[in-house]
Amino acid sequence: MGIAARSCAVAACLAAAEATAGGLQAAPVELAPVPVGARADAPRSSASEGTVTAEQLANRPRLRPGELLEIVPGLIVTQHSGDGKANQYFLRGFNLDHGTDFRTTVAGMPVNMPTHGHGQGYTDLGFVIPELVSSIEYRKGAYYAEEGDFSAAGAAHLELMSQLPRPLATLEVGEDGYRRLLGAGSSSLGGGTVLAALEASTQDGPWTVPEDTEKYNALLRYGWRNDAGAWSLTGMAYSNRWTATDQIPQRAVDSGAIGRFDSLDDSTGGDSHRYSLSLDWVRGSERSETRATAYFVDYDLDLFSNFTYFLDNPADGDQFEQVDRRRYGGLGLVHERHGEWLGRHMHQRVGLDLRYDDIGEVGLHRTARRQRLSTVRQDGVEQLGTGAWYSNGIEWSKGFRSVLGLRADHYRVDVDSDNAANSGKDDDAIVSPKLSLIWLPTAKTNVFLNGGYGFHSNDARGATITVVPGSSPPEPADKVDLLVRAKSYELGLQARLLPALQTALTLWQLDLDSELLFIGDAGNTEATRPSRRQGIEFSNYWTPRKGLIVDADLAWSRPRFRDSDAAGDRIPGAIERTASIGVVLNDWHGWFGGARLRYLGSRPLIEDNSVRAGSSTLVNLRGGYAFSPRLRLALDVFNAFDRAVNDIEYYYESRLPAETPAQDPPVGVEDRHFHPAEPRSVRLGLAAYW
C-alpha cells in the first residue's frame, strides 16, 4: 500500500475516532486511573524512585514511543533495527537488550515476554499512544516486594488516561515519508466514561532501503463506579509491519562498498500484532484499599534478521526468522491497610501475581528473502509464574521509618520441542527478602539505605535443553537454572536545596549470579559469568516557575564480571556513563517547547576492553505555539546538530560476499558492526481540540 493510500486509510480511522468523541459532555464522570502496584502518593522508600505526570511528558521531544522511558533518570533508549522491533534499553551498567532486567507494565499489564523468540524479557512499546499516558512510576533496584521477574535493574509502570478534557485530532508530517494521524476523545456513557483513540502512522526513515513502516493503534476504555468500587475495562489493538536495516560492518563502510544508511539484506524486517483486554477494579475505605487487574493478551511476531550476511551460508546468505506466537493472561491482586502497632503507624501491603503464557510457537528458522530454508528449532511452551509478596512499613519516629518486604516466586515450564531430546518440564522457586531504612534528618532531606534480593528468569528452552539444535552428530548442551538470583544495595540522599529544586544522589551495587544465558539468535545456551555493577547517580529536577521544568541526570557505572577468566572481566555492551539534560516549557504566552541533550558514553565491546564503542551525544528540540485553546502547532527537530553517531555497536565475525569463501567450521572477519542514529530530521504537527 502506498503512502497516499495509507493516508486515506488513516483519515478514515481518524473520522471514526472523532465520531466517537463527538458526544463529549461538559461534566463527564470523574474516574482516576486504577494502577495495580504502589500508590503514586505513597512515601518514597528509595532515592531512585519517582512518579512523573502527563504535564512533565507533554513537550519532551520524542522520536519513538519507547523514548517515554527516558523519563527514568539514567535510562537510554535506542534502536538497532526497524521501528517495528522493540527498542534497545540501557540503564545502571546494563545493555538491557530489549528489556531483560527492567520490568515494564502498561495499565497494569506486564509487557516483558519470557521465553521470547528474539530475546528474553522482550519489551515492545509500539502499542502505546504517548498522548494517552497519564503517569509513569519508576523505581530502580531489587528493594520492592511488588516487583518480580525482570526487575533487578528497575521497573516502570505506565498508566493510561481514563478521560480527556476535550476531543483531540492530531496530524503530523515529516521528512523521510513520516505521516501520523491521531484521533481521541471521551464521553459520558451509561453512568461511566468511555475513552476512544485511533492512531495510524507510516515512515520510510533515512535508510537506502525504505522502512515502509505501517503502524496502527486503537484503544477503547470504559470506566464506571458502583457499590462494589471503581472499574475500568480497556481494550487495545496494535498492528505493525516494516522493512528493517540491520547493523552493518564498519569495514564495508570504510571501503566505500556501502554507505552508513545502506543495507546488506533488503528483505529483513517483520510484522507484529498485540491485542489485549484488561479489567481493573479498586475498592477502598478510610484505612484500607484493595486493587486488582485481570488481563489477556494475544501476541504475534515474525522477525527476519541477518547479522553475519554470508558467513554460514555463502550461497543463500545468513538470514533467519524468529517466530513468537502466544497468548498470555494473568491476575494481579493488592490489598493494603493502614493501622497502628505499639502506638506506631504501620502500613501493610500484600499481593499476589499470576501469569500463564501459552506459546503456540517459538521458533528459529534459516531463511532467504523471507522464505524458509530449514528449521533450527521450533517449540511450543507453557509457562506458569506465580508470586506472592508482603510489605510492612513502620514509622518508628517522626524522622525514621522502615519498609520490610518478602517475595516468593515459583515458575513451572513445559517445553514441547521439535527435537524430543530438548523437550521436558522444569520448575524453580526463589525467595527474595527486602529492607529499606529511611531517615529524615531535616524537613527537606531524606537519607535512604536499601538492600534486597531479586531475580530474572531464563528462557524455558534453556532449562530443558540437552543437545545443541541443528548439530550433527548431536552435541551435548548444558541446561541452565530457570531463575537467576540478583542482589542489590543502595545508599541515597534526597534533598530540596532550594524551594523549587529537588536533588538526589545515589550510590548503588548490583550482583547477578549470571548474565542472561539463552542465545536466541543461535537457538542455543551459553553459560555466562557472574557479574557486579557499581555506580553513582546524580539527579536534579528544578521548576523555577509554573510551566517551566529543568532536569539534569548524570550516571556512572562500573560493570564487571566477578570471576577470573583469561578473556577479561569487562561485560560487552555494558554502559559506563550517561547524561541527560533538558528543559520543558509548557506555556509562556502561548509558546511551548522543549530541548534535550542525551549522552551515551563509550563502552567495551569485548571482554578484554581492546575494542570499545564510541560515545554519542544527541540534541532534540521542540517548539510550538497555541493559536487558541483549540489549535496548536508544533515543530520537532531530532538530532539537531546532525551528529554522525551510532545507536548501537557490536563486535563479532561476519562475511561479505567478496570475502574468502566460508570454511568448515565457518571463519569470518571480526569487525565492529553498527546501526547509525538517524540524521537530522524535522516533523511538523498540528493538534486541534474542541
pLDDT of residue 42: 56
The per-residue b/e assignment along 554-572, b for 16 or more CB within 10 angstroms, e otherwise, is bbbbebbbeeeeeeebbbb
Contacts of 499 (CB under 8 A, 6+ apart): none
Beta strand extents in 418-547 (DSSP E only): 424-442, 445-457, 483-498, 501-512, 518-519, 524-525, 531-545
Collapsing DSSP to helix, strand or coil, 20 comes out as: helix
| Sign of the Cα pseudo-torsion (364, 212, 110, 88, in order) | positive
pLDDT of residue 372: 98
Sheet holding 248-249, edge to edge: 248-249, 669-676, 646-654
pLDDT of residue 522: 54
Does the domain at residues 3-689 carry the CATH identifier 3.40.640.10?
no
The pTM (predicted TM-score) of the whole model is 0.92
Contacts of 481 (CB under 8 A, 6+ apart): 428, 458, 463
Collapsing DSSP to helix, strand or coil, 239 comes out as: strand
pLDDT along the chain (690 residues), means of 10: 44 41 35 35 84 92 96 95 93 93 97 95 97 97 97 98 96 97 96 97 98 98 96 98 97 97 97 98 95 99 96 94 98 97 96 99 97 97 99 97 98 97 97 98 96 96 91 88 96 93 97 71 61 97 94 98 94 96 95 97 97 98 96 98 96 90 78 97 97
By the 10 Å C-beta count (0-12 exposed, 13-18 middle, 19+ buried), 439 is classed as: middle
> Nearest 5°: CA angle at 98, between 666 and 531?
80
Report yes or no: 352 and 391 within 8 Å, Cβ to Cβ. no
